[in-house]
């Protein structure tokens, strides 16, 4: 038990499942149902984003054809675990996320003009907030009792060409999802201490 367990408003088992004992898996087994896949997003969507923008887009890869295409775009070390994962998600951001303004922030669309006038700002905002949502996505996976294996070792331009050829989305993360398989992880890796990374000013 740590101070995090003592201060948390959720029970110790939940703290462990989502944070303290959760680890990135490299081997997978089991099944992830369509209802469970939906539940992952239903939890993810509640995390905060700038202007409630929610630019994250999730592509679940189920078919054999799509899985083969995705695996071919991954770094060699990521291929076998992705082939065996019960469910794989490609996370991307909507490149025209601000066009949904009246849906995600109805009644206050004044900031939209700023993003319309600055495509680079719109792209970086979409990218940054989708990355933020990716963190919520991983925690949602863990909260449902699954292991997550997020990976950036991929040719994302190839993934975009295969899955989003119209340019409507830009991918940035692939996440394997399932129950941890045999030898799913090696030794626990060290984490920085509070004193190493936190200061009060």
Q: Per residue of the chain (201 residues), what is the pLDDT tens digit? A: 789 999 999 999 999 999 999 999 999 999 999 999 999 999 999 999 999 999 999 999 999 999 999 999 999 999 999 999 999 999 999 999 999 999 999 999 999 999 999 999 999 999 999 999 999 999 999 999 999 999 999 999 999 999 999 999 999 999 999 999 999 998 899 999 999 999 999
Token code pair at residue 32 = 């992830």
pLDDT at 82: 97
Q: Which residue segments constitute the domains of the chain, with CATH numbers given?
A: 21-181 (3.40.109.10)
Cα–Cα distance measured from residue 8 to residue 17, given in angstroms and rounded to the nearest whole number = 13
Confirm whether pTM is higher than 0.85: yes
Task: Rounding to the nearest 10 degrees, give the CA dihedral for residues 80, 84, 87, 92.
Answer: 0
Among 128, 124, 122, smallest CA distance to 100 is for 122
Q: What is the DSSP string of 130-192?
A: HHHHHHHHHHHHHHTT-EEEEE--B-HHHHHHHH-TTSSEEEEEEEEEEEE-TT---SPPP--
């Amino acid at each position: 038990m740590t101070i995090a367990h003592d201060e948390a408003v959720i029970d110790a088992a939940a703290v462990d499942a989502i944070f303290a004992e959760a680890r990135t898996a490299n081997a997978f087994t089991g099944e992830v149902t369509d209802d469970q896949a939906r539940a992952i997003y239903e939890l993810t969507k509640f995390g905060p984003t700038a202007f409630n923008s929610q630019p994250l887009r999730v592509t679940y890869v189920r078919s054999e054809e799509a899985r083969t295409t995705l695996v071919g775009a991954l770094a060699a070390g990521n291929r076998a675990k992705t082939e065996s994962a019960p469910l794989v998600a490609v996370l991307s951001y909507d490149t025209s996320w601000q066009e949904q303004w009246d849906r995600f922030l109805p009644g206050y669309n004044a900031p939209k003009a700023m993003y319309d006038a600055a495509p680079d700002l719109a792209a970086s905002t979409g990218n940054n907030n989708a990355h933020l949502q990716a963190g919520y996505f991983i925690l949602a996976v863990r909260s449902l009792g699954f292991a997550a294996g997020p990976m950036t070792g991929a040719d994302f331009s190839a993934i975009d060409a295969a899955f989003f050829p119209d340019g409507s989305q830009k991918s940035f993360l692939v996440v394997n999802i399932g129950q941890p398989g045999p030898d799913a992880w090696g030794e626990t890796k060290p984490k920085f201490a509070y004193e190493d990374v936190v200061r009060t000013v």
